Amino acid sequence: MNHVTVMHSMSEVVDAIIMRTGSAIVLAIPMGIGKPNHLVNALYRRVKGDPSLTLKILTALSLERPVGHSDLEQRFLEPFAARVFGDYPDLDYVKDSRAGSLPSNINVFEFFFKTGDYLGNSRAQQNFIYSNYSHAARDMILQGANVLMQAIAVDESGSSPRYSLSSNPDVSLDLLAMSTLPTLKIGAVNRKMPFMPNDAEVSANSFDILFDSTESTHDLFAPPNMKVDAQDYAISLWASTLVPDGGSLQIGIGSLGDGISQALIVRDKHNAEYRQLLADMQAANGAALPAGSDLGKFDLGLYGCSEMFVNGFLWLIRAGIIRRQVFDDLLLQRLVSEGKLGQQITKQSILELLNVGRIHATLTEADMTFLKHFGFFTDDVQWVDGRLIVSGESIPGNLSDDTAFRKICASCLGTELRGGYIMHGGFFLGPRDFYQALRDMPQEQLQRINMTRIRFINELLGHEELAALHRRDARFINTTMMVTLLGAAASDGLDSGQMVSGVGGQYNFVAMGHALPDARSILLLRSWRTKNDKVTSNIVWNYGHITIPRHLRDIVVTEYGIADLRGQADNEVIKRLLAITDSRFQDELLATAKANGKLETEYQIPQSCRRNLPEILERCLGGAATRTLLPDFPFGTDFTEDELVIVRSLARLKRSVEHPADLVATLVKSAIGQLLDSETVPERYLERMGMTEAHTLKDKLMRTLFVGNL
């Protein structure tokens, strides 16, 4: 075991890194918020200023405070970012990478980009490492990682501090356990990181250096919740019918992640209204639910197993939907899965453990640890030289002795099974109130969430039986950008080779959806998109980049319904996908499929599937009662009411700038005074944007355009 050195100066830590590694530093840092930003910046600046040193950074999801690209956007975003992101420090390498000014002695290699941030950035694209999330630790070692830096949480409530990998045990647990290279392991204490127990808790001696300073603590990157619109809610409602009670759930971040979480909550808490919404949607466009759909409440509850512990999971836990417990002890989990062990502890519970050999007839100290940990024995039972001591009574630890067994059952048994998990996660990222909820969560609840290594969550290898028992009726729900008519999916990149984001764990979960006997992979897809005012189908004939190959096709859900593709012939796959394609693109795709000999020439899309249009959905989901159940921000927002109004104004203004005729119309209306009436424009909007006074021609023009779109 290492002997940790505590340091309080960033320059001291940087000196130690260079002393240990020499001139070639290969730095592994976690994805997302697990980076110790100040310390990373200190090392980056040292190397940037010393050409004799080289630095290779291995990471993913490098986050940056939002910045405006125009004067108006900056006026809006600067006070918002100051309020929401606090003193979160941007990473210098991100700034330089975006500006194209990374020095020649520094290279950054990422395996997952923040969506769309590096399109067109040649150096970032060239240094992209295309790997499954579960292979990230392996690939960091292959790249020669000799330093691991990790932001860690601390609990100082006891007699000695405890440490946790918090948001990012995902890759770090594997790196900490690897001895392939003499990696220098550095933990940087950030007192704003939520302390996560269980597998995420590590000893101080897991690190070579513990950096604890005011400079190691800063606010966490906290992306605000995104608006969930009618298209997202329609997709989410269809998908929610595919989640069986008593099953397992994986979802991702963003508006569709929030949408599916809210749809499940509505299904459980407002079931009659939920069923009516689905009936209205089916009537509107003729879609049908597949056999086996589940519209009922969650009487058994769900278990969450997701590489990303997102805000939606927190709300599902609060709603009592994520509550099905699993256990990381294989024999115990078998008994629970077979119904031989229930929540209540009885004499039979001990006999079942004995029958499968989980405990010995003559109890050992290890048996005692197991029995107390999972609640079979009360905490006050003590173990002394083969005997159980409870309330002053000494009982032989021999279950074969009827007298001893009766005394043990009378004096030692607990009341309820405990030590189970309702959620396994690899890393987390969310809005400010998500982090605060984790900080404030009672210890008993927090213990039921196990942040752990990504290989446990994203793969089955090495724990196949346990994973299968945990992940019964698993539904792995992910988002994709495009689906081909033959069932392949492009989720992370363009056909030019440019990466939008990365595969992350999507391939892992899709493969698991086929490997586990009762699991399904579900890909959520917005059937159309708009770019430069042109509407385009996201269901295409083919595409030059594929994330999920067509031999792993399973279930695809759009706002127009569900296509179950598993085990179907190519022509049937095409028919089912056409049925959930936006009707503006069905004829062209139908003709292409026929021209390529993949569909019978006489086939016609049923008339019941010819009403797949946005306005149909809006009529179904746009009513006031529906919007109460399906609000724009189901889990709240960091935007104020005034800011939401301003956001809509800026969006309209952006469209006006792209359409000269609209821009001229706005200016003409303003010029004749119709839109500058102080009675129609509340002063608070102008104050929020710093536009109460406009002296220069530029300021007056911006104010005119802003008000014109307000």
**pLDDT one-digit tens code per residue, 221-251:** 999 999 999 999 999 999 999 999 999 999 9
Structure confidence at residue 670 (pLDDT)? 58
Domains 5-216 and 230-325+422-616 in one fold: yes
Structure confidence at residue 666 (pLDDT)? 60
pLDDT bracket for residue 686 (50, 70, 90): confident
CB 637: neighbour CB atoms within 10 A?
17
Structure confidence at residue 256 (pLDDT)? 96
Percent of all residues in the chain with a pLDDT value above 70, rounded to a whole number: 95
Residue 129 has pLDDT above 80, yes or no: yes
Structure confidence at residue 88 (pLDDT)? 97
Q: Which residue has the higher pLDDT, 672 or 90?
A: 90
CA distance 164 to 202: 6
Mean residue pLDDT of the chain comes to: 93
Structure confidence at residue 450 (pLDDT)? 98
- Plot region of 367 (φ>0 → left; ψ -120 to 50 → alpha; else → beta): alpha
Using alpha carbons only, give the angle 292, 295, 298 rounded to the nearest 5 degrees. 110
Structure confidence at residue 533 (pLDDT)? 81
Domain spans of the chain?
5-216, 230-325+422-616, 330-411, 641-709
**Could you report the per-residue pLDDT of 356-385, keeping only the tens digit for each?**
999 999 999 999 999 999 999 999 999 998
Q: What is the mean pLDDT of residues 205-218?
A: 96
Structure confidence at residue 678 (pLDDT)? 45
- What's the token pair of residue 331? 């024999």
Residue 1 has pLDDT above 60, yes or no: no
Structure confidence at residue 203 (pLDDT)? 96
Residue 663 has pLDDT above 70, yes or no: no
Dihedral sign (CA 531, 532, 537, 543): negative
Q: What is the mean pLDDT of residues 165-184?
A: 88
Structure confidence at residue 171 (pLDDT)? 96
- What's the token pair of residue 542? 């083919």
**Could you report the per-residue pLDDT of 548-582, keeping only the tens digit for each?**
999 999 999 999 999 999 999 999 999 999 999 99
pLDDT bracket for residue 101 (50, 70, 90): very high
Residue 521 has pLDDT above 50, yes or no: yes
**Could you report the per-residue pLDDT of 264-294, keeping only the tens digit for each?**
999 999 999 999 999 999 999 889 999 889 9
Task: Please identify, in words, the CATH class of the domain defined by 230-325+422-616.
Answer: alpha beta
Structure confidence at residue 214 (pLDDT)? 93
Question: What are the angstrom distances between the C-alpha of 114 and each of 41, 94, 193, 367, 686?
Answer: 19, 11, 21, 47, 32
Residue 673 has pLDDT above 80, yes or no: no
Structure confidence at residue 674 (pLDDT)? 47
CA distance 303 to 301: 7
Helical axes 311-318 vs 432-440, angle rounded to 10°: 50
CATH number for 5-216: choose from 3.10.580.10, 3.40.50.300, 3.40.1080.10, 2.40.50.140. Answer: 3.40.1080.10
Per-residue DSSP letter, 113: P
Structure confidence at residue 676 (pLDDT)? 47
SS (H, E, C) 465-534: HHHHHHCCCEEEEEECCEEECCCCEECCECCCCCECCCCCCHHHHHHHHHHCCCCEEEEECCCEEEECCE
CA distance 169 to 180: 19
Amino acid at 209: I
Using alpha carbons only, give the angle 463, 197, 256 rounded to the nearest 5 degrees. 70
Q: What is the mean pLDDT of residues 24-43?
A: 97
Residue 675 has pLDDT above 50, yes or no: no
- What's the token pair of residue 365? 């100290």
Structure confidence at residue 97 (pLDDT)? 97
Structure confidence at residue 457 (pLDDT)? 97
Structure confidence at residue 690 (pLDDT)? 83
Structure confidence at residue 625 (pLDDT)? 76
pLDDT bracket for residue 646 (50, 70, 90): confident
Structure confidence at residue 183 (pLDDT)? 78
**Could you report the per-residue pLDDT of 305-354, keeping only the tens digit for each?**
999 999 999 999 999 999 999 999 999 999 999 999 999 999 999 999 99
